[in-house]
Amino acid sequence: MSVETQKETLGFQTEVKQLLHLMIHSLYSNKEIFLRELISNASDAVDKLRFEALAKPELLEGGSELKIRVSFDKDAKTVTLEDNGIGMSREETIAHLGTIAKSGTADFLKNLSGDQKKDSSLIGQFGVGFYSAFIVADKVEVFTRRAGLAAGEGVHWASKGEGEFEIATVEKAERGTRIVLHLKSGEEEFADGWRLRNVIKKYSDHIGLPIELPKEFHGEEKDKPAEPEWEVVNRASALWTRPRTEVTDEQYQEFYKHVSHDYDNPLSWSHNKVEGKLEYTSLLYVPGRAPFDLYQREAPRGLKLYVQRVFIMDQADEFLPLYLRFIKGVVDSNDLSLNVSREILQKDPVIDSMKSALTKRVLDMLEKLAKNEPEQYKTFWKNFGQVLKEGPAEDFANKEKIAGLLRFASTAEGEGEQVVSLGDYVSRLKEGQDKIYFLTGESYAQVKNSPHLEVFRKKGIEVLLLTDRIDEWLMSYLTEFDGKSFIDVARGDLDLGSLDSEEDKKAQEEVAKSKEGLVERLKTALGEQVAEVRVSHRLTDSPAILAIGEQDLGLQMRQILEASGQKVPDSKPIFEFNPSHPLIEKLDAEPDEDRFGDLSHILFDQAALAAGDSLKDPAAYVQRLNKLLVELSA
Ligand code: ADP
Ligand code: MG
């Protein structure tokens, strides 16, 4: 053992302590994953070294082959992992192995449910892989030296996973990191060549550098060489460089876990090699579930970027639009320069063409998933549908394609499940129907009984029910699908086109004429509150509704803008009444203008309530209603 200097004992950050506690006490269902985590870190460390060595070749220190070695000692009950990657300085060691640098740690700990399975997959998302060593070890030692630092600046880190760690400066001849796991009693099975080999094959076959184990020695103990012979146990070629036909589903899935930090399998993937003017390989995955920070602006997103097999950067978000930010994977380009930076990426026209090609790949992959695996697509929609809805506004060129991937609730499906595609809708159009009808609102419960739907129910016409916050905004970007325009049934003067027969239209005109007097009286009574009063043809059961002006903001948009503190342009609704409703007939026959006024206001307020709006003067409404009730019972 070499001399240790500047030895000190430091405490773990509180979050780390909580995590360690969780690791040690509840994550025992799948213990072998510690090896995957440590190998994944070693592989990242080698990637980082390769990258830094592009600018500073001297970091390679003579350039022995980059690799990972895993060894074990049955008697000492240890497993040792060694890499010759970038290594860590003393400060880096304290920062990386004593704290969790990632933002969102607090969120993470809040999200812990106590349910072991859920929590262990959360841990994956947060990439706190190193601490998983404590699942099998009751003491972990790390010997490391940052590439470029002198041999005397090695670091020895040690901890029992109980709240603190020791750190000291030591001599370390080789650059890189060696991790020694002192196995807990009961975990000795991991100090075994056969077991380690199997775990490595299972989880780390896709790692693009050699992982070596000592060769089994079968001779007499006295002939055993001091240095073992090593043999490579993984395939050691980057997975995406292999032909599709040679990669199994399991291998694709393991690779996904490596790049995404997800513990579950992806829903789908697409692996493509592009040749021609541009040359690149992409491997894109649709995750099986949404990360907790899908809606956080600063959340990491993007692909892992490689240039000619050399790792360049994580989270390269220039390759896909924002509305596809949930896609994980790698892209390996032959056209970009090895010293490409984020700044260059943002300007390079090569990126633009790659971005549009990759976007199309993803949309195609989603189309395929929807077509071939509708159940899986449902899962996808539940997790990422809201994000995909940002698409039509962001990506004009692919609007129609994205529209085809959207799913909605509709009057033709019960329970408000979002399962109807625009393709489904169009395939069920009524004879003479050339529009796609929709209604937006706050919740399924609110819209499903909306008076706006009465005429559609009567005529058996399907209406899409849009109740996500983003829907009204989405519909302002979607104007057409398959040549059919969208009509908001709560907006403007509903024209059912050829769905109304000539006789219908004639009858409607006649009724409108006969009610001109009532329209005028209502205009006077409601005054400033309404933009217009007219006879409605869309009501069967309700006495009246409020329609939104053709150009006015809908309720949802108004509420969103108001909530964000913006000034919202004033707009007045159109009051439409049902001429054959008994209440309207009563109103029409009311000679007393005061009572007429009260009744009109009550009808107006009721219509506002039915539309999900709040009343401007609820007290006045209650007063008028009570007055009526008193008169009734008198
Ligand atoms: P993640 O890999 O997601 O960053 P980990 O908990 O697995 O999280 O690792 C924490 C950090 O510790 C890494 O980001 C890296 O900076 C450092 N680290 C871990 N293992 C090594 C290693 N073998 N070589 C160099 N640095 C390492
Ligand atoms: Mg890691």
Q: Atom 10 in ligand 1: which residue has the minimum CA distance? A: 96
Closest ligand 1 atom to Cα of 37: 7
Closest ligand 1 atom to Cα of 40: 2
CA distances from 130 to 34, 117, 124, 147 (A): 8, 19, 11, 20
Cα of 445 to ligand 2 centre, how many Å? Answer: 45
Instruction: Give the closest residue to 257 by CA, choosing from 300, 207, 293.
Output: 207
pLDDT of residue 508: 87
Residue from 96, 131, 134, 211 whose mutation best tests the ligand 1 pocket (most atoms within 8 A of CB): 96
Beta bridge partners of 534: 576
Cα of 36 to ligand 2 centre, how many Å? Answer: 9
Burial 278-301 (b: 16+ CB within 10 A, else e): eebbbbbbbbbbebbbbeeeeebb
Closest ligand 1 atom to Cα of 86: 25
Ligand nearest the Cα of residue 52 is 1
Return the amino acid letter for 415: E
Q: At what angle do helices 116-126 and 14-26 cross, to 10 degrees?
A: 140
Helices (H), 428-581: 444-448, 454-459, 471-475, 502-514, 516-526, 555-563
* CA 300 to centroid of chain Cα atoms: 11
Q: Atom 2 in ligand 1: which residue has the minimum CA distance? A: 41
Can you tell me the distance from the alpha carbon of 45 to that of 259, in angstroms, rounded to the nearest whole number?
Answer: 14
Cα of 142 to ligand 1 centre, how many Å? Answer: 12
Q: Atom 17 in ligand 1: which residue has the minimum CA distance? A: 96
On the CB side of 98, how many CA atoms lie within 13 Å of its CA? 17
**What is the maximal distance between C-alpha atoms in the chain?**
118
Q: Atom 14 in ligand 1: which residue has the minimum CA distance? A: 96
Cα of 130 to ligand 1 centre, how many Å? Answer: 6
The structure tokens listed for 479 are 């104007």
pLDDT of residue 121: 61
Q: Can you give the residue ranges of every domain in the chain?
A: 5-237, 240-382, 407-490, 499-633
Cα of 278 to ligand 2 centre, how many Å? Answer: 32
Cα of 231 to ligand 2 centre, how many Å? Answer: 24
Return the amino acid letter for 330: V
Mean pLDDT, consecutive 10-residue stretches, the chain (634 aa), reads: 87 86 70 89 93 91 89 97 98 92 63 66 64 93 97 97 95 97 96 95 88 89 86 92 94 91 90 94 95 78 90 90 96 88 86 95 98 96 96 96 97 88 96 93 89 91 94 92 94 77 86 92 93 90 90 79 81 92 94 93 93 88 92 77
Ligand nearest the Cα of residue 85 is 1
Cα of 87 to ligand 1 centre, how many Å? Answer: 9
Closest ligand 1 atom to Cα of 127: 3
- Is-contact 156 163, C-beta < 8 A? no
On the CB side of 311, how many CA atoms lie within 13 Å of its CA? 22
Q: Atom 16 in ligand 1: which residue has the minimum CA distance? A: 96
Q: Atom 13 in ligand 1: which residue has the minimum CA distance? A: 96
pLDDT of residue 28: 58
CA distances from 338 to 307, 309, 353 (A): 6, 10, 19
pLDDT of residue 380: 97
* CATH class of this structure's domain 407-490: alpha beta
Which residues are near ligand 1 (CB < 6 Å)? 37, 41-42, 44-45, 83, 85-88, 96-97, 127-130, 177
Q: Atom 12 in ligand 1: which residue has the minimum CA distance? A: 96
- Is-contact 536 577, C-beta < 8 A? yes
* CATH class of this structure's domain 499-633: mainly alpha
Return the amino acid letter for 345: L
Cα of 210 to ligand 1 centre, how many Å? Answer: 19
Helix (H, G, I), strand (E, B) or coil at 546: strand
pLDDT of residue 123: 61
How many C-beta atoms lie closer than 10 Å to residue 335's C-beta? 16
pLDDT of residue 323: 96
pTM, to two decimals: 0.79
Cα of 335 to ligand 1 centre, how many Å? Answer: 30
Closest ligand 1 atom to Cα of 83: 23
Residue from 13, 19, 44, 80 whose mutation best tests the ligand 1 pocket (most atoms within 8 A of CB): 44
Torsion of CA 566, 567, 571, 572, to 10 degrees: 90
Q: Atom 25 in ligand 1: which residue has the minimum CA distance? A: 87
Cα of 38 to ligand 2 centre, how many Å? Answer: 7
Closest ligand 1 atom to Cα of 176: 24
Cα of 278 to ligand 1 centre, how many Å? Answer: 34
Q: Atom 21 in ligand 1: which residue has the minimum CA distance? A: 41
Cα of 133 to ligand 1 centre, how many Å? Answer: 12
Closest ligand 1 atom to Cα of 179: 23
To the question of domain 5-237 being in CATH 3.30.70.1070, the answer is: no
Tell the CATH topology of 240-382.
Answer: Ribosomal Protein S5; domain 2 (3.30.230)
Can you tell me the distance from the alpha carbon of 271 to that of 330, in angstroms, rounded to the nearest whole number?
Answer: 10
